[in-house]
A and B are shown apart, each in its own frame.
Chain A
Amino acid sequence: MDAKLVNPFIKATLTVLETMAFIKANPKKPFIKKNTIATGDISSIIGLSGETKGTISVSFESKCILSIVSNMFGEEIKELNEEVMDAAGEIANMISGQARQELEAAGKVLYAAIPTVISGKSHTISHMTSAPIMAVPFNTEFGEFTIEVCFED
């Protein structure tokens, strides 16, 4: 997988969280993820197709997604309920849209499917292809989350 494909997703993640939730996230060093165990408690996954095929996911620690959604809604959300699951899907949707806009400008047109959201301790994230999974952890003042990007080439 071309490592450059990850950069638009990192930028999009920062923009989405800052614009919609007023939260500044700091990306840490990307790494190749060897297993399918989610790093967070709630994950949203989107399949992408077009000039290449792949999957992106965003996996949040509970306290992190609760703070993000509380900021998005302008009221405190205390538990991982259906609204938080919905919001996690919409966040992944926006990250995918923003990143695809930049990829299109670079000549790579991709189409997105509807996000799937999974929750629970140590759930698994199955990517669409067997290509290496590039993971980028982020920290915020409210906890951590990780994006994973996996493309065929």
Chain B
Amino acid sequence: MPLDFNMTVLVVDDFLTMRRILKNILKQVGYSKLHEAEDGAQALDILKSGDPKIDLVIADWNMPKMTGIELLKAIRADAELKDLPVIMVTAEAQKSRVLEAVQAGVSNYIVKPFTAETVKTKLEQVFK
């Protein structure tokens, strides 16, 4: 299935640098409906409000207030949100971390640093 560029994407990272880089890459790939949150708690508020309705979450792991893995677990535990695709982007590449994310139901995992091509490939793997 080709990527659906009509999707609304929520980029979650406490570093504005990474939000900016990810949004640039997503625009380059073809997405235009992009929103951002500074931590998991803010992201969860947006997701639960349904305004805007988010179709894909791309989240960092290490964040204050609510981490990416806590956000992922909260999404999978919510009846309304549980099927939402969640991609984690993190500098933490240790096997134990990847395993924890997989067990929590992550849709895909991107290790920093990454290229635009890597992000596109990971998106295609999620929506294949």
Contacts and interface: CB of A to CB of B under 8 A. Distances in A.
B92 A19 contact: no
Interface string A80-110: 0001001101100110111011001000010
A87 B62 CA distance: 16
Interface residues of B, number: 19
Contacts of A98: 91, 93, 112-113
A19 B15 contact: no
B107 interface: no
Contact of B17 (A15, A19, A83): A83
B17 A87 contact: yes
7 contacts: A20-B113, A72-B17, A86-B17, A90-B15, A94-B112, A97-B112, A98-B91
Interface of B: 15-18, 20-21, 24, 62, 90-95, 111-115
A74 B24 contact: yes
A1 interface: no
A31 interface: no
Contact of B113 (A16, A83, A114): A16
